[in-house]
Amino acid sequence: MKWVVRIFTALYVIALGLFLVGTFGWFGQEPDPMAGVFLMPLGMPWNLFFEGDDTFGFLVALMAPAINLGILWMVCDLVESRED
């Protein structure tokens, strides 16, 4: 079950990198308002629950997938402990 957590973590890191590159225009990339499109599905439902202004929405977009990662890790750990 830990492979699920690893895959989600890899997707989160990739989406976070794309978000930062697109938002701040790193590596010669033009700033793009759609840079967070890959973070949104990873952070559901927390993205919708904690909607806010631009500054707060920026932080929610960054941290919402981390909440799901923590929940996923706890569930996988619980399932593995029950299998033993």
pTM of the predicted structure, to 2 decimals: 0.83
CA distances to 1, 23, 32, 47, 57 from 52, in Å = 34, 18, 20, 9, 5
The pLDDT, as a whole number, for residue 48 is 86
The pLDDT, as a whole number, for residue 30 is 86
The pLDDT, as a whole number, for residue 2 is 86
User: Could you tell me the residue range of the domain that residue 13 belongs to?
Assistant: 2-83
- Residue 78, both tokens: 């619980």
Per-residue pLDDT of the chain (84 residues; tens, 9 = 90+): 789 999 999 999 999 999 889 888 888 888 887 888 888 899 999 888 887 677 777 788 889 999 999 999 999 999 988 876
Amino acid, single-letter form, for residue 63: M
C-beta of residue 23 within 8 angstroms of C-beta of residue 36? yes
Structural domains of the chain, count: 1
